[in-house]
Amino acid sequence: MKKLVHLLFIAVTICFTAQAWSTDTYQFQDEVTQKRYQSLVKELRCPKCQNQNLADSNAPIAADLRREVYELLQQGKSDGEIVDFMVKRYGDFVLYRPKVSTLTYVLWFGPAVLLLIGVIVVVIILRKKPARKVQKSLSNQQQNKLAEILKDK
């Protein structure tokens, strides 16, 4: 248990330091802008190293795009405008949460539909079971045979 707590502590520390190095180079005029910056670099995906967001990535392009986000924030751009700026240049791909469109319906609603199908299947199976149990009781002929066998013993 003690070991586990220790490991957890290390993991949490690593998470926080990873966040820190990508933000500490920039000065923000207020806390709100800093919060917006941090959420933006977490929402935007690094186009070079695709499993990471801008905040976590060490790729040079991620550093450039972080700087771009910072500069756009300094220019007073809204979050939507900054996201549009990135999408215009790097495509929908830069968004970690894909937009809801005809292309992404399956992505957004597929899991819910699958879950629904699963629930329906389970309900159907559960409803069928009791009906079978009734049939399991022995017929008269079988009862008699059973009685005979038991008598012999």
Partner 1 sequence: MNKIIRFIPLVLFIALGVVLYRGLSLNPQALPSALVGQKVPSFVLTQLLKPDNTLTEKDLQGDIVLLNVWGTWCVYCKYEHPYLVDIAQSGRVALYGLNYKDDRQDAKQWLVDYQNPYQLSIFDPLGKLGIELGVTAAPETFVIDKQGIIRMKHVGPIDGDIWQQKFLPMIEILEQES
95: contact with partner 1 by CB under 8 A: no
41: contact with partner 1 by CB under 8 A: no
102: contact with partner 1 by CB under 8 A: no
91: contact with partner 1 by CB under 8 A: yes
132: contact with partner 1 by CB under 8 A: no
| Interatomic CA distance for residues 115 and 111, integer angstroms | 6
> Between residue 49 and residue 68, which ones bind partner 1 under the rule CB under 8 A?
50, 59-61, 64-65, 68
Burial tier of 1 (Cβ tally within 10 Å: 0-12, 13-18, 19+) = exposed
| Interatomic CA distance for residues 72 and 41, integer angstroms | 12
Alpha carbon 34 to its chain's center: 25
Q: End-to-end alpha-carbon separation of the chain, Å?
A: 58
| Interatomic CA distance for residues 37 and 28, integer angstroms | 9
| Nearest to partner 1 of 55, 72 (CB atom) | 72
- Which of 79, 87, 95, 104 binds partner 1 (CB under 8 A)? It is 87
| Interatomic CA distance for residues 36 and 73, integer angstroms | 9
Stretch of residues binding partner 1 (CB under 8 A), selected from 2-10, 24-32, 44-52, 134-142: 44-52
88: contact with partner 1 by CB under 8 A: yes
| Interatomic CA distance for residues 79 and 59, integer angstroms | 23
Task: With CB under 8 A as the rule, give the number of residues binding partner 1.
Answer: 15
In this structure, what token pair is assigned to residue 13?
A: 């520390």
89: contact with partner 1 by CB under 8 A: yes
Beta partners for residue 95, in sequence order = 44
Stretch of residues binding partner 1 (CB under 8 A), selected from 7-15, 24-32, 43-51, 134-142: 43-51
Per CB under 8 A, residues contacting partner 1 are 47-48, 50, 59-61, 64-65, 68, 87-91, 93
